[in-house]
Structure formats: C-alpha cells, structure tokens
Structure 1
C-alpha cells in the first residue's frame, strides 16, 4: 500500500481527534485547512480551533480561508497535489472545483448512519428524536449536503441516558479507526461506494439557543430527550421567576398528574438522589442537575441546601419570557 498525500479540513475537537488518527497512520498529512480564529470567552479574544492547535503542534502548514470559492484559495489547495482530502466538521461547503482536485476526491466523516441525520447537528438530533442507534459514516463527498456514496458504516448504540457529550466521545472512538480503514481501502484501490437511499433522508438542522427553552406542555419523555441532546450545548432551560434556570440532567417519570404543566409537584428522593419533580403535558420530569444565574451547575441535593425556598411544591416554572442572550 502506498502512503497517500492528504489535505485535512476540519475545525472542532471532533475533527482534531480524527486528524490525530491520520497523523498516527502511514499516510502523510501535507496541509490542514480550518476555520478562521473566532472570538471566544468573556473577553472575546480570538481563539484558534482545536484542529489548528493540533496541526501547529505537529508542524503542519495551516490555512484559514473564509471561503473556498476564490481562485487564490483553490490554487492553494491545488499546489499540494494531494491524493485525497479528508473533511471532518469543517464548517465550509466545498465547491465542485475543490471536490475534483485530489486524485481520489474528498471524503467526509459524518456522525450518523446516513442518510439519517444529514446536516449540522447529527449527534444532538438523534438523541432528541429518541433513536436507539446511530454511528459513523465515511462517505465520498459530492456537491450535495451529506449526499455522497458511503464507503464504510460503523453502527453505535445510543444508551438510554446518553447525552450529546457522551455520544460525541463514543463516536470519536469509532470514527478514528473507521477513517483510517477507509483511507487504507482507497490507497489499495479496494474501496466500495454504496449510494444512499435519498428517500430515507432526514436533516439535522443547526442548533439554536432558543429551541433549548423547555416547553412544559410536551410529554416528559420528549423533554428528557431534549435535555440530554442539548447537554453540553445549548443547554435546556426554563425560568424560575425572572431567572433563567438551566437544566443539565433530568429523567422522565411515567406517573400521571392533574396539576398544570411546569408546576413543581414535589421534592422526591433522599440525599444525593433528591430531585425536583415537575408536571409535564404527560408524565412528570425529575430534575437532577440545575444551574442558577451566576452559579455553577449543581446536583439538586446540593442546590436545595441553599435555595430550598425557590423550589417549593406549587412553584410554577417557565412563566417569565426573559432569555439570556
């Protein structure tokens, strides 16, 4: 097997871990493309992406174009004479001219079992929908949004208590060897491309902060799935008076109640297992980890030690309209 010359394009930690897998493989990463540095944190200082940091630590050339449509940016890609371009959560669409440049084209690591959950937030949307299984698909890229032929498919079960954070880490563990396997198959000219069933496609739309506002009229199970899907971002929230109350962990309870949705029904459990039970459209939701403004996320048992009067039965959550920007 001949080692391939690879251009890597990606931005977040998920992508950086896959770059690390390629750096440990027999193949040669000749250049890295990532998003421009963005303001982050309270000071809004420019922050390099995890991919940039990984690339610089290994002495790789890094390029950060705003887009890839300009002739000079495309010429930059062409100059590396790559055999293959590997794209993982890059954040930019690749024009057809770029897709056609590498000898073996461009491949993508996607965190779902395509064609389910094409798009920006496949990890979160599969948990939100209550899917029992997801996985990693390595696909040959085309001009569509995650529509290319599939090279390898690696399933992954979704646990009943899965959060976006835990599933993200599981999929990294599966994705790294899957990527190297796909690259090896291409290098040996042994890859088999399987077309997607476009009629079965679903779309994982980008997350917004506003959609994380809890609608207590929904069934408890649906709200629980949203809480897990939006952990660690954008984090489900409700309101307690005029305060925004973030909900980091919760579990659905099938027990019926006739009180209004959003009303605290009871404080249940003892010691570390204490929870705030809230009525929903159907069933109830036990809140296990909460965060008040200016405070850290805390287990409910610890929170009640100082704020028990805030969570008395009969208290209504979700009435105020204020949203932290």
Structure 2
C-alpha cells in the first residue's frame, strides 16, 4: 500500500542533468527545503565565476543554496541536520558524502545513477555503456552507503541503446527517465526501501573517468573505434592528427563514422577510399569510414563539403599516422 506523503528534501547536485531532477521535484508534492551544489567555478572566455545549473534553478525558486567545499566538518553536518530532511537526494553532485551525512536524513540519502547497476559504477556510466557496446542502459535509484555506487537499488528504469546512439543522445534519454524514476520512488519511499535489491558485487564494472588522450584514434579495431566516436561525443571526441601542420593545430575531431566492410591489406591509418560518402581508413582490424569531421578552428562538416577544400589532404594513399 502506498505511503505517499510530502517529504522534506535536501537536494544535492551540480550540472544540467541534476537540474532536470530538481525541476521534477519542484513540480511534485514534495518540499525541497535546501539545495547543495558545487562552489561557483570560472568559465567562459572571461573566466568569470559561474553558478551551476542547479544553483540557478534553486535561486529562481527562492530555495536556500549551500556550497560547502567539503562535507566532513562538524559545521557542515550540523547545518544539514538543521534542515530536518526526510531524505537527501543526490544527483551528479561531485562531493563525497561522509557517513554522518548519509545517516542524518530519516530515509538516508538516495542517488540517481545513469546505469543499470551494478554495471558501470563510477564517473562515466553513460559513455562507458556505449564504449563497451551495451545494448541497454537506464537509471538506478540507489540507497547510498559508504562504497562507490554500491548501495541497494530501490528502482530501475531501462532504455535501449540505439545503433547510432551518442553519449549526448543517451544523456537526453536518461535525463527524461531519471526524474520520473526519482519521483516515483519518493512517492512510495518506504515500500521501495522494503523491496530494495542488494547489488551483486561480483558482477560490478567500473566506469572510469574519460580523458582527452583516450579519444586519440589509433587505427586498431574499427568496431571499437566506431563505438569510441559515439561514446566520446560531445567530449573529448575521438580525434586524430593531420600529417604536417603545427603541433596543437592539426587535431581533427570525428563527429560521425561507421565500420566499413571493405577488405584491405593496407597499413593502419592509410586512406583506402575517398568519396563524398566518406573517407575510409584502414585499421588493423577492419576499416573505419569517416562521415563528419571538424578541422582545427572550424565547424563540423560532412565529408562531402570538406573535400571541396581538402581533397589532397585526404587523398587515397595518405597515411594519417605520419604526423611528423
């Protein structure tokens, strides 16, 4: 039987993904009594301090905003207790929660995580699911504990990962699933806590943080490289360097690519076909056809437009590993 009653919620989050969840709470019957978010950071050309998306939304609704540098102080813990929260909701916050924080609210702290836990615990679950070739993703509403994304799962909502899925498009899917799953859980939190499923820790995988270096294309396995192109869009993008040109000014970002069924005996990195439909590059396993590229300082262009000014740069026989 439903135990739905309005809850006093402290919300902790920082980016746009978190703001989507806060917006859902503000449109629910529950009361958001305070918002915790990362301190303002410098951003943009002027390097001016910018509030997070969550802070901006909170201020629009006249909600108290807290921005502690850390939560492991007695002052920070007392401050949270004074809000008398029934539950603390955490979505992409960016700070570790010490045990006194986890146990302060009546129902503890719950987190909305962008994967089907225990798969892809950690910082980059959306990207890693595409990178690994998973067929499905989703969101898991989890009761938080001291471990990294190890707590019991209260509620799960799933979605398919399409063949053309990028991290950007999957992010949008989960930004719709997550808020709905969160409010559903909060509306009947006692029942969901009673039915919570302990994770199978033996089946856990870790979604390590992305780095720019990981985006560099090594022309190895075309199937994996095509996944990288989608997984690393919009950051850090899969990329390679053009032969010639000044270091730091020859990086080409790949926005769209596909695996080619072309048979070849060419060295990895060699352009083996070039037409308005795409630039096909030999890999040690298979071949990768590039459909949309972004040259340094330029906007992304389909290959059909790019070749108008760079036909010799991407001529058949050019090897893209010869950058010196």
Is 1:223 aligned to 2:230, yes or no?
Answer: no
Alpha-carbon separation, structure 1, partners of 2:7 and 2:49: 33
Alpha-carbon separation, structure 2, partners of 1:77 and 1:46: 25
Cα RMSD for the two superposed structures: 1.4
Contact 2:110 2:142 in 1 (8 A): yes
**Cα offsets for 1:219-252 (capped at 9, x unmatched):** 1110000010000011111000241111111111
**Cα offsets for 1:149-183 (capped at 9, x unmatched):** 00001111100110000000001111111000111
Contact 2:293 2:301 in 1 (8 A): yes
Alpha-carbon separation, structure 2, partners of 1:191 and 1:289: 50
Unaligned runs of 5+ in 1: none
**Cα offsets for 1:252-293 (capped at 9, x unmatched):** 11322111111111113x4xxx21111111111111111111
**Cα offsets for 1:8-28 (capped at 9, x unmatched):** 001111111011111111000
Unaligned runs of 5+ in 2: none
Alpha-carbon separation, structure 1, partners of 2:136 and 2:150: 20
Output the TM-score relative to the length of structure 2. 0.94
Output the TM-score relative to the length of structure 1. 0.94
Structure 2 equivalent of residue 100 of structure 1: 103
C-alpha distance 183-301 of structure 1, shift in aligned 2 (>3 A): same
C-alpha distance 46-318 of structure 1, shift in aligned 2 (>3 A): farther
Aligned residues between the structures: 316
Structure 1 equivalent of residue 7 of structure 2: 4
Is 1:266 aligned to 2:273, yes or no?
Answer: yes
Structure 2 equivalent of residue 292 of structure 1: 295
Alpha-carbon separation, structure 2, partners of 1:148 and 1:287: 42
Contact 1:114 1:137 in 2 (8 A): yes
Alpha-carbon separation, structure 2, partners of 1:251 and 1:48: 39
Greater shift, 88-97 or 301-310, is seen at: 301-310
Alpha-carbon separation, structure 2, partners of 1:154 and 1:30: 27
Report SS of the residue matched to 2:140. Answer: strand
Report SS of the residue matched to 1:310. Answer: coil
Alpha-carbon separation, structure 2, partners of 1:11 and 1:40: 14
Alpha-carbon separation, structure 2, partners of 1:281 and 1:159: 26
Deviation at 1:190, TM superposition (A): 6.7
Contact 1:2 1:187 in 2 (8 A): no
C-alpha distance 189-115 of structure 1, shift in aligned 2 (>3 A): closer
Contact 1:3 1:187 in 2 (8 A): no
Structure 1 equivalent of residue 173 of structure 2: 170
Structure 2 equivalent of residue 82 of structure 1: 85
**Cα offsets for 1:45-92 (capped at 9, x unmatched):** 222111111111111111111111122111211110000000001111
Alpha-carbon separation, structure 2, partners of 1:33 and 1:244: 38
Is 1:30 aligned to 2:33, yes or no?
Answer: yes
